[in-house]
């Protein structure tokens, strides 16, 4: 019996599964299906890009002409792509992994929506390419749905094409310990026929949130109770992926990496470094409230440079913080920013600072007004004036999910009220803070090592270092994709840089 995992990609507050990241959902599921596999049965991994290629491009990847942009809707092909029709026709079960809860823009991929998958499945049915049972899993299968753009309600979902809808097929941490290791062979199916697809494995360390009352917009505490994986299980999983050839890792699937106590962080990070031969080890998501010197030092010591402490600050407006039950007030956030800079801002091997903070800011929260933007600018300017470094300020409009405090108390009231200011507010932060900060973070003539060429836009090639929130670098020549280059910074755009190969 043939079983298929169709990865339409996932992005949640805790956990990324959009290429080049390979998320936990397809890996755990692959492990489970492999464990149940009988003789003559096969388990295949496909991406939404494979499906789009088959239906929209007759399964032939068009070449990117010199005046064109790389088509990122069909960029992340698996090596099963060429046999799409035969495999799909023979499949008895298709597991669709889908759901974006933190809308974003991605350099090299476009996650699918329920609407898109419905359209494509209808086309497959019309062409008699599928008879398989269809199972929807991942964030879109929760009651919160999915939303690819911020500032809107979650997508109203027509799930009638699915026989089963289940958020998580593997959820127990005991089972995950086993399936995560069994699932590592999935990466063998990802490398495309040009042979250069690389993956960053998003590793889960915990779920839920220890904060008590949920932040007004967040679905994480509604979805999960606070629970930590065993350190040994995490190290075993990283070891198994590493043996399978994965060299890039992010400990990113948790709401707060610093919710772990220092002795466990030490065991986890030193265990990974001792047992594995890896090129990138980064983290994601920390709560400023729990940042202390010992934990920050451990991250700096054991992780690789270019690492970022992404902090969900959301707002520096004390009233908004209170009304939305946000986790950190401005003073606590500033303390954490200073601490992480003191220990982590030194430049590391790849040219980037070793470990610096990144901030998430959200528009559309309860109580938001002009004073919110004033407070945000005041603190951001203070950070800039204090010579502290920030790598990335992520600004997004909130997505209103059912069941959250935001949905119950205000819905999209503040989004509607303030929408007319958002471009101006965002632009003010981009012009006055981001751009100046970028010049400090990566000054002219600095060399950033090991940047991988990923896509073209006309005669420009875009590259990134591999890791968490890497800077986008534009080089004005067509470099061979999939190769690594050292790039000297020659100029700064608002949020990206221009460079030349050295
Ligand atoms: S701290 Fe807030 S945003 Fe973070 S996981 Fe908990 S509830 Fe969600």
Walking along the chain (502 residues) 10 residues at a time, the average pLDDT comes out as 96 91 97 93 97 96 92 95 95 95 85 95 92 94 68 71 93 96 95 71 94 88 91 98 95 95 98 96 95 98 97 95 93 97 97 97 97 98 96 91 92 96 97 95 97 96 96 97 96 94 98
Q: Do strands 91-100 and 133-137 pair parallel, antiparallel, or not at all (unpaired)?
A: parallel
What pLDDT is stored for residue 393 in this prediction?
A: 95
Ligand 1 lined by 13 (C-beta under 6 Å): yes
Q: From the CB of residue 76, how many other CB atoms can be counted at a distance below 10 Å?
A: 24
- Asked if the domains at 1-198 and 443-501 fall in one CATH topology, the answer is no
Ligand 1 lined by 211 (C-beta under 6 Å): yes
Q: Are 189 and 45 a contacting pair, CB within 8 Å?
A: yes
In CATH terms, the fold of domain 1-198 is Rossmann fold (3.40.50)
Bridge partners for 361 per DSSP: 314, 395
| Ligand 1 atom at shortest distance from the alpha carbon of 14 | 5
- The class that CATH gives domain 443-501 is mainly beta
Residues in the chain: 502
Ligand 1 lined by 214 (C-beta under 6 Å): yes
What pLDDT is stored for residue 399 in this prediction?
A: 85
Query: So where are the chain's domains?
Result: 1-198, 443-501
Nearest alpha carbon to residue 303 among 284, 331, 327: 284
Ligand 1 lined by 221 (C-beta under 6 Å): yes
Closest residue by Cα to atom 1, ligand 1, is: 327
Identify the residue whose tokens are 């050295």.
Answer: 502
Ligand 1 lined by 376 (C-beta under 6 Å): no
What pLDDT is stored for residue 152 in this prediction?
A: 61
What pLDDT is stored for residue 154 in this prediction?
A: 59
For the entire predicted model, the pTM comes to: 0.94
| Ligand 1 atom at shortest distance from the alpha carbon of 214 | 7
Rounded Cα distance between 442 and 391, Å, is 10
Beta strands in 62-116 (DSSP E): 91-100
- Would you state the torsion angle of the CA atoms of residues 51, 54, 56, 62, taken in this order, to the nearest 10 degrees? 110
| Ligand 1 atom at shortest distance from the alpha carbon of 218 | 8
What pLDDT is stored for residue 150 in this prediction?
A: 60
- Rounded to the nearest angstrom, the distance between the alpha carbon of 287 and the centre of ligand 1 is 9
Mutate to test the pocket of ligand 1, among 288, 311, 313, 327 (most ligand atoms within 8 A of CB): 327
| Ligand 1 atom at shortest distance from the alpha carbon of 285 | 4
Nearest alpha carbon to residue 325 among 212, 217, 216, 208: 216
- Rounded to the nearest angstrom, the distance between the alpha carbon of 14 and the centre of ligand 1 is 9
| Ligand 1 atom at shortest distance from the alpha carbon of 209 | 6
Ligand 1 lined by 216 (C-beta under 6 Å): no
């Amino acid at each position: 019996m043939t079983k298929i995992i169709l990865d339409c990609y996932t992005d949640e507050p805790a956990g990324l599964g959009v290429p080049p990241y390979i998320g936990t959902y397809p890996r755990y599921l692959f492990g489970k299906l492999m464990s149940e596999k009988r003789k003559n049965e096969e388990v295949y991994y496909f991406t939404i890009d494979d499906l789009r290629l088959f239906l929209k491009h007759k399964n032939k990847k068009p070449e990117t002409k010199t005046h064109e942009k790389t088509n990122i809707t069909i960029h992340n092909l698996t090596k099963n792509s060429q046999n799409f029709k035969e495999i799909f026709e023979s499949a008895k079960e298709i597991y669709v992994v889908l759901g974006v809860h933190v809308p974003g823009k991605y350099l090299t991929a476009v996650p699918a929506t329920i609407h898109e998958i419905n359209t494509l499945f209808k086309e497959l049915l019309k062409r008699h390419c599928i008879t398989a049972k269809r199972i929807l899993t991942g964030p879109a299968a929760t009651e919160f749905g999915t939303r690819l753009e911020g500032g809107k309600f979650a997508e109203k979902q027509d799930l009638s094409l699915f026989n089963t809808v289940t958020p998580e097929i593997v959820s127990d941490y005991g089972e995950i310990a086993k399936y995560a290791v069994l699932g590592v062979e999935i990466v063998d199916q990802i490398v495309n026929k040009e042979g250069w697809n690389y993956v960053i494995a998003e590793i889960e360390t915990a779920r839920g949130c220890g904060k008590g009352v949920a932040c007004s917009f967040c679905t994480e505490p509604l979805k999960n109770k606070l629970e930590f994986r065993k350190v040994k299980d995490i190290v075993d999983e990283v070891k198994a992926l590493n043996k399978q050839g994965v060299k890039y890792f992010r400990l990113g699937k948790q709401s707060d990496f610093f919710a772990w106590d220092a002795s466990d962080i030490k065991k986890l990070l030193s265990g990974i470094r001792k047992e594995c031969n890896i090129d990138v080890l980064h983290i994601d998501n920390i709560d400023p409230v729990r940042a202390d010197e010992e934990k920050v030092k451990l991250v700096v010591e054991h992780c690789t440079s270019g690492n970022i402490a992404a902090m969900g600050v959301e707002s520096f407006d004390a009233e908004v913080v209170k009304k939305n039950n946000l986790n950190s007030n401005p003073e606590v956030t500033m303390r954490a920013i200073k601490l992480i800079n003191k220990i982590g801002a030194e430049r590391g091997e790849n040219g980037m600072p070793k470990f610096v903070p990144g901030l998430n800011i959200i528009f559309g929260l309860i109580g938001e007004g002009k004073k919110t933007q004033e407070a945000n600018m005041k603190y951001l300017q203070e950070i800039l004036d204090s010579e502290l470094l920030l790598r990335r300020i992520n600004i997004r409009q909130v997505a209103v999910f059912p069941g959250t405090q935001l949905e119950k108390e205000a819905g999209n009231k503040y989004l509607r009220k303030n929408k007319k200011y958002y471009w101006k507010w965002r632009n003010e932060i981009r012009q006055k803070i981001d751009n100046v900060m970028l010049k400090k973070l990566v000054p002219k003539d600095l060399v950033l090592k090991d940047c991988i060429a990923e896509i073209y836009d006309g005669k420009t090639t875009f590259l990134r270092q591999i890791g968490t929130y890497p800077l986008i670098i534009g080089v004005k020549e067509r470099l061979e994709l999939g190769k690594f280059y050292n790039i000297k910074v020659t100029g700064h755009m608002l949020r990206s840089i221009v460079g030349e190969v050295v």
